Each structure stands twice: as structure tokens, then as C-alpha cells.
Amino acid sequence: MPVPQVVESFAGSVNRVTLGATKDDGGTRNSTVTVGGAKNVVYGGSAEDAGETPVVAMDVLDSKPTDWPDALIEPYKDVIDSPADWAKKCVEEFGAEMICIKFEGIHPDKGDKDADHAVKVTEDVLKAVAVPLVLWGCGNDEKDNQVMPKVSGAAKGEKCLIGAVTEDNYKSLTAIALADGHFLITQAPLDINIAKQVNILASDMGFPLERIVTFQSTGALGYGIEYAYSIQERQRLAALAGDKMMAMPAICDVGYEAWRAKEAKLEDAPGWGGAADRGPMWETATATCLLQAGVDIIRMRHPRAVATVKNFIDQVWKSNS
Amino acid sequence: MLIIAERINGMFTDVKRAIMDKDKKVIQDLAKKQTDAGASYLDVNVGTAAADQEGTIQWLVESIQETCSTPLCLDSQKPDVIAAGLKVLNAGNGGLLNSTPLNKKNDDEILDRFIEMATQAGPKVGVIALTMDKNGVPQDTDNRVAIAAEIVSKAMEKGFDTQRLFIDPIVLPVKVPNAQVQPTNILNAMDQIKYLCDPAPHMTVGLSNLSQGTNQRSLINRVFLAMAMSHGLDSAIADTFDEDLMNIVATSEMLMNKQIYSDSFLKVYAS
């Protein structure tokens, strides 16, 4: 008996986005990263429908982290005071395809560092590594509006992914990202309606939809991953149905969220297995789950988790092609 | 929801005059304005404006295509007029042939001819078929569905993708004596037509016909459109200049979860 063909096909697709500018393109990057392009759900349809392979962006903090557990500090202990060396290590030793500079230290409660500091970090990292960058503010609207436009300017023409803008705070960063030729992260608090609205607001300012990557907010394993999963899935299905306002590739922040979980960082928990393994496993499980919902760029922290997730991506996406 | 904009029709005095004066600008202006208002297709109907219907539909199609790439819906009961329009239609943009009954007393093969014309025109051209046959327009639900079933089976028999088929269950003016039962009959028929094949054929109506002669035209059109969308209507020949009507389309799609809600959902839909 013949097996019936049950593959669904869709009219729409996820936008294809190429991050990073090489010399020919007016920047200084040696490589670019292209994500998106999926014409089906993950595992759905033919190999060509899978689109571009998802990528890992490894986190580098602008200032030495104060609340990281030992298991996460350990791989970076020799470079943790220098964002440039840290970034270099991520690219050269751990195979990061992108670096995400998280400007944690500019937050008023976490160091309150100024724009000069942030600009210097940006310039140093741009010199140290040649992969495309993600430039991510601290989440305090006022401080981000002061600092991130200057960070944007310091990386002008490099086609970075910069953000994140929200429904209540999008104008200044959207305008500057547009002027500096960057790509924009639009953020929503696990709310698909707001996600769509932020994209519309950015688009109303003349920002091209093809240069937006969405951040729906992330929940780690055990801490709301099901909400993140279902929103990512809904975003993908809306893109496939032809909703232009939802057809962007997606980024998620697995590193921060996974390592917030007590299961990932608690040292003294004999019944849970060794702390050195637990954190990377928590981060890996969170990442692989969200990749299956349709996320295109994953921010991660622990090199062992990164290696496992890259292996997973290779098996699922590249074995397809 | 595919809205087929109704205004380029020789029954309207401005269009009739433009056809008589060969004034392209009026037609091109209507094409642009209807497209900007959210039209998916532009209906093109010579009406009673000219004796040479074949030449006139060609002039209309060519005039529109000079400035506008919105797909056109060639509207005539006469296959020869449709065929003339098709000769100059840029079928790569898509198009619709509007419309054919299942059969006619003097032409048993009219549906076949429409399907053949669409097939020859290319994969983006569809056919609007009326639930009407040699006996006229059925007044009840069952005959509408029976005719629709014959139309669908004819399309399948001829290898014509049912996603290129638009079934029109024929809306009659509600003001005509004893016609008030028809809207309900049409909704009931649509409930069944959507199960005739998978994927379902599109369904369309000539919406403005419903309110002919009434003094609440827009209101009647708007309310029926929302009702019909909830019964599976996914296309209508309608007045795109009725902004409230277009807002109702956007809102209905949102309420049926076909579009994700956002605070700007009306604006986004129009664009």
C-alpha cells in the first residue's frame, strides 16, 4: 500500500537576513551569518524548506560578571576582565559564529558605566574578532537610550544586530540603527500581539521589516519554556501563512535564562548530580527545545553547551542538505 | 480574504463616460485607488457602455496594466468577451474569469470552456463559477450545493486545481419579494460547499447585489459580509471605497484568528 504524501506546504516563508559586513560591503568582518528562509516548520517539508542553519551567538559581557556561578566562570577565568580577549576565546576556541556583547555593566544597578566605556568595549571587540556582532542593551530604557546610540555609531556600517526595542521604548534606537545600517531586535514579553505591534511601530518609522529579528523573551527549562516554545511556534506559523509583520527570524536568550535556574547553578545539591555538568545540560536542553520551535539565533554561555548544541544543529539541519 | 474591487464596471456612469471618451486616466485612477484601498483583484466589466464589448474589455485591461499590476478579474457572461480580455491580460500577475454557470440551455459546455481558458492562461488564473444551471438560479440550499458539487467534480475531472476555483452561490437583492430567506440559504449552502473537496474551493459573492434598491446599502453589505465570512466566505466582489466594510474584513479575520491581533491591526490589514 502506498504511503500517502502528507507534507504540508505554505505560501509564506521566514525572511532571510544576512548579518555582518565584510570589506566589500563597507565593514571589517571576515564572515557573515545568514539566518531565516524557512518555508516550513522544523522537521517539516523537504530539506530545502528548512532554510538556513540556525547559529549560536556566544555572550560576552562588557563588565566582569558578578553573579555567575563557578561552573560558568571557569572556562573564561583567564579572559573575564577583558571583553576583547573573551570574545576572541569564544570565536577561536569555542567556534562562536557570532558574539553578543551584553552591556550589563551600564545598568544603573549593575555598575552604571557610561557610554565611553560601552563604545570602547565595542571597538575593542570589533578589533579582536571578525565575526558579526549582536549589541544588546541593559534593559533600562533611560540608560539604553543614552548609551546604545553611541554603541551603534561605534559599529556603524558593520551590519550588527542591535537592540532590543520594546513597545514603550523604540524610537531612538530604531532611528539610530536605521541610520547606522544595523539590524534591529524587537522585543516582546512573551506576548504575540505585542510582538506584532512592535514590528509595526518600527516599520512605521521606516525601518525595513527585512532588517528585523524578533525577541519574544525566553523561558528556560522548568521556567516557562512552554510559553516561549508555543510563541516561537506561532510566530513561525504566522510567517508561513504570509503575515509580513511576523515573518522575521527569531533570537532567544538561552544563556542568561538557563543559568538563572537554580537547577543549573546550585552547587550543593547531591541528589541532582555534579554542578559542573548540570548547568551545561540545562542550557543545552533549553536551546535544543527552542531550536525545534523555530528559533534562528541562540544566545548561549557555556562552551560545552555550545558544542553540544552546534552538534545537534549539524545533525538536524546539515544532514538535511 | 480576497476582495475583488467592483468599481471598474461600465454600469457606473463615470466608467461608462470614460469608455465612451476613451479616457484612460479615469480608469487608471480607479485602479490605483482601489488597489490602495486593499483590493486583491480589480473587476473589469464593460457593462452596457459599448457595443464592441471585446474591443472595450481589451482597452480596459491594457489601460489598467499600463500603470497597475494588481491582478484583474475579467467580468462577462460571454466567453468570447473573456477570451478577448485574456488575449491582452498579463496572466503572470494572476487573474480571474468571472463568471460561468454550470451549464446553459443553449451552451452545455460553458464551464468547460472557462476552465480550458483559465488552464491555457497559466497557473495563476482562476475561474468564478455560479451555482446556476440551465434551469436558472436555485432558490434553496440543496440545489445550490448540488450544482456546486457538479462544478467541483467537473473541475477535478479536468485536472483543474480546486484552489483556482471560486464558487459563487449567488446573492440576490434582499428587497425583492420573498427573497429574504435567501441570505440564510446562502449561508447554509456555504457551510456545505466548503466540504466538497480538500482543499476547499474558494467562495465568493457579488456583495453589493444584496442591497440593491434598499436605503441602507452599506449597512446591509457590511453585516452580511461579516456573517458570510464566518461561514467560510473567503472572497467577495465589493466596494473597496467603503472603509468600514474593509475594516470589517480586517476585524473578522482577526476574530476568526486568521490574523494575529495587534493594536494596529486595521492599519496593517489595509497595507
For the segment B183-207, the average pLDDT, to the nearest whole number, is 96
CB contact under 8 A, A245 and B268: yes
Which residue type, as a one-letter code, is found at position A143? Answer: K
Given strand B2-5, what is the order of strands in its sheet? B202-203, B165-168, B125-130, B95-100, B72-75, B41-44, B2-5, B235-238
Residue of A nearest to B264 (CA): A197
Phi, psi dihedrals of residue B139, rounded to the nearest 5° = -95, -10
- Note whether A130 contacts B: Cβ–Cβ < 8 A: no
Per-residue model confidence as pLDDT tens digits over A26-66: 999 999 999 999 999 998 888 889 999 999 999 999 999 99
> Residue A193 is nearest to which of B258, B262, B267, comparing CB atoms?
B262
CB contact under 8 A, B260 and A197: no
For the segment B38-60, the average pLDDT, to the nearest whole number, is 94
CB contact under 8 A, B267 and A234: no
| Separation between Cα atoms, residue A237 and residue B207, nearest integer Å | 31
- Note whether A304 contacts B: Cβ–Cβ < 8 A: no
Mutate to test the interface with A, among B124, B198, B265, B268 (most CBs of A within 10 A): B268
Per-residue model confidence as pLDDT tens digits over B64-79: 999 999 999 999 999 9
> Residue B260 is nearest to which of A201, A204, A238, comparing CB atoms?
A238
How far out from the chain centre does Cα A233 lie? 17
DSSP-assigned letters across all residues of A212-225: EEEE----BTTBBH
Structurally, at CATH architecture level, domain A16-320 sits in: Alpha-Beta Barrel (3.20)
- Lowest mean pLDDT, pick from A190-194, A236-240, A272-276: A272-276
* pLDDT at residue number A320: 53
Residue of A nearest to B254 (CA): A193
Q: Which residue is associated with the grid cell 558578578?
A: A66
Q: Do you find a cis peptide bond into B199, omega within 30 degrees of 0?
A: yes
- Note whether A316 contacts B: Cβ–Cβ < 8 A: no
Per-residue model confidence as pLDDT tens digits over B236-258: 999 999 999 999 999 999 999 99
Per-residue model confidence as pLDDT tens digits over A294-317: 999 999 999 999 999 999 999 988
- Shortest CA distance to B96 belongs to which of B121, B73, B118? B73
ipTM of the complex: 0.79
A102, A215, B4, B78 from A284: Cα distances, Å: 20, 19, 51, 65
- Note whether A193 contacts B: Cβ–Cβ < 8 A: yes
CB contact under 8 A, A193 and B260: yes
- Note whether A79 contacts B: Cβ–Cβ < 8 A: no
| Separation between Cα atoms, residue B240 and residue B35, nearest integer Å | 8
Phi, psi dihedrals of residue A19, rounded to the nearest 5° = -100, 145
Note down the domain range covering B124: 2-270
- What are the boundaries of each domain within chain A? 16-320
Alpha helices in B107-165 (DSSP H): 110-121, 141-157
- Shortest CA distance to A43 belongs to which of A260, A291, A285, A284? A291
CB contact under 8 A, A193 and B268: no
CATH number at residue B119: 3.20.20.20
Nearest-CA distance B254 → chain A (Å): 11
Number of domains within chain B: 1
Q: Do you find a cis peptide bond into A31, omega within 30 degrees of 0?
A: no
Phi, psi dihedrals of residue A65, rounded to the nearest 5° = -65, 145
CB contact under 8 A, B264 and A200: yes
What is chain B's Cα-based Rg?
18
User: In 3-state terms, what secondary structure has residue A149?
Assistant: helix
Asked whether B210 and B178 are in contact (CB, 8 A), the reply is: no
Mutate to test the interface with B, among A9, A200, A203 (most CBs of B within 10 A): A200
Nearest-CA distance A242 → chain B (Å): 10
Give the pLDDT band of residue A11 (cuts 50, 70, 90).
confident
CB contact under 8 A, B268 and A234: no
> Residue B260 is nearest to which of A201, A204, A246, comparing CB atoms?
A246
| Separation between Cα atoms, residue B247 and residue B243, nearest integer Å | 6
| Separation between Cα atoms, residue B33 and residue A186, nearest integer Å | 33
